[in-house]
Amino acid sequence: MKIGVLGAGQLGRMLALAGYPLGFQFRFLDHNPAACAGQVGELIVGEFNDYRALDRFVDGLDVVTYEFENVPVEAAQYLSSKLPVLPGAQALATAQDRAAEKSCFKELGIPTPLNHNVNDESDISKALGVTGLPAVFKTRRHGYDGKGQLVAHSEAEALQAWEKLGRVPLICEQHVPFERELSMVAARQITGECVFYPLTENWHTEGILRKSVPQTNINLDLQSRAESKIRSVMDHLGYVGVMALEFFLHKGRLLANEMAPRVHNSGHWTMDAGCVSQFENHLRAIAGLPLGSTQPLSISAMINLIGHAPEVDSILRAEPTARVHLYGKDPKPGRKLGHINITAPGLESLKRKTERLSKLVGG
């Protein structure tokens, strides 16, 4: 089976690396000739809205998927007139627009931070009336790793945010003083069968994920509430593949922050903790194969390598049991260059190893 992936970043690269043992072949489409998945599979260089590039991309493929949610919906629709595109264009359209995403949550009765759309400067004071202060202003589209968002502590700062973010449609959200950030990664088959990984706790700085730890001492009530929320989103969208749903845990409530219609950074620990990885489960779902176990065989943690990565040698000398995943990208401030998965026989040793490696990577 030959799988086409829209986007050729690290997520595409890890999809291919997970898919080769199953006998899959991969082709990527990306505008960047140096995109890192090109090191591990055929890369077609072209814009997503260049229909000649899409035709070259699709020739000989069996199925198309994404590793990036900002693919134009028209491109996904064009491709789906020729072959299966999974997850479908509706999921893509919902996930790439924060306003559509929030109204999907609302329709399904999934609690979110208080929010209001800002299409014009004149909407700002009404929005603040809904959310209160502080508030987070986010561009409706194209934001990632905390880019395209600003926190405002006053109406004056809110007006500045409107200017700084480029006078484009925004969503204004209540700034939630959450206790924890959690995410759930799940996979759904075309038949509706779903599997769920354990809720994972995430730590961000400057909007970028630094560390993820799947929850070992799982609060089963929280896990099942999260599962029913992500299941209802996936069922609603007729979703096929892996999806992630990010939550804020605040006063015992799970507030949905955003969804990702793809494999997710907070699921990278699944590569080394003894279950079928999120990458393989995504491929199994889109290929119509049975989904694999999401049950970890070991406790684990994941640390991102951001901006710069220590030499592999120094990581492995510090901790020989560490599993290093480098993405083949040039260093640049704020750029995700790789991650380290850490496993351990007990919580104390996991904590020790994670602290030692966090210090080494500067996290």
Ligand X SMILES: Nc1ncnc2c1ncn2[C@@H]1O[C@H](COP(=O)(O)OP(=O)(O)O)[C@@H](O)[C@H]1O
Binding residues (CB under 6 A) for ligand X: these are: 113, 136, 143-146, 173-176, 181, 204, 207, 246, 257-258
Interatomic CA distance for residues 234 and 226, integer angstroms: 12
In the complex, least distance from residue 297 CB atom to Mg ion, rounded to whole angstroms = 28
Say if CB 295 and CB 33 are below 8 A apart: no
Comparing CB distances to Mg ion, the nearer of 62 and 145 is 145
* DSSP code, position 198: P
- Pull the structure tokens for residue 348: 């104390």
Least separation in angstroms between CB 253 and ligand X: 13
| Closest by Cα among 39, 75, 90, 64 to 283 | 64
Q: How far is the CB of 87 from Mg ion (least distance, A)?
A: 18
Please name the amino acid found at residue 28. Answer: F
One-letter amino acid for residue 253 of the chain: R
328 binds, among ligand X, Mg ion, none (CB under 5 to 8 A by kind): none
- Per the rule left: phi > 0, alpha: psi between -120 and 50, beta: everything else, 132 is left
SS3 246: strand
**Site residues (vs Mg ion, CB under 5 A):** 246
Cβ neighbours for 64, distance < 8 A, ≥ 6 positions apart: 3, 4, 5, 6, 58, 76, 79, 80, 83, 84, 85, 86
Cβ within 8 Å of residue 135, ≥6 positions away: 127, 128, 151, 152, 158, 172, 173, 174, 175
94 binds, among ligand X, Mg ion, none (CB under 5 to 8 A by kind): none
For the bound state, the minimum distance from the C-beta of residue 104 to Mg ion, rounded and expressed in Å, comes to 16
Which residue, 136 or 340, has its beta carbon nearer to ligand X?
136
The one of Mg ion, ligand X, none whose footprint includes residue 270, by CB under 5 to 8 A per kind, is none
User: Three-state DSSP class for 201?
Assistant: strand
Q: Which is nearer to ligand X, 268 or 353 (CB)?
A: 268
Compare residues 62 and 201 and give the one whose CB is closer to ligand X: 201
- C-alpha 27/C-alpha 60 separation (Å) is 10
Q: Which does 46 bind (CB under 5 to 8 A by kind): ligand X, Mg ion, none?
A: none
Partner in contact with 69, chosen from Mg ion, ligand X, none, beta carbon below 5 to 8 Å by kind: none
Least distance CB 193 / ligand X (angstroms)? 28
Backbone angles phi, psi at 259, to 5 degrees: -115, 155
- Out of Mg ion, ligand X, none, what residue 237 binds, judged by CB under 5 to 8 A for its kind, is none
* Contact between 126 and 283 (Cβ < 8 Å): no
Helices (H), 20-72: 51-58
Give, as one character, the DSSP assignment of residue 56: H
Which CB sits closer to ligand X, 207 or 238? 207
Residue 161 CB, shortest distance to ligand X, in Å, is 13
Between residues 90 and 257, which has the closer beta carbon with respect to ligand X? Answer: 257
Compare residues 60 and 207 and give the one whose CB is closer to ligand X: 207
Tokens coding 359: 């210090």
Question: Measured from the CB of residue 246, what is the shortest distance to Mg ion in angstroms?
Answer: 5
User: Binding partner of residue 145 among ligand X, Mg ion, none, CB under 5 to 8 Å per kind?
Assistant: ligand X
Token duo for residue 180: 């924890």
Residue 10, binding choice from ligand X, Mg ion, none, Cβ under 5 to 8 Å by partner class: none
- Given ligand X, Mg ion, none, residue 296, with its beta carbon under 5 to 8 Å by kind, binds none
Nearest distance from C-beta of residue 147 to Mg ion, angstroms: 11
Radius of gyration of the chain (CA): 20
Query: Least distance (Å) from Mg ion to the CB of residue 67?
Result: 16
Nearer to ligand X, 183 or 354 (CB): 183
Nearest residue (CB) to Mg ion, 67 versus 246:
246
CA dihedral sign, ordered 284, 289, 293, 298: negative
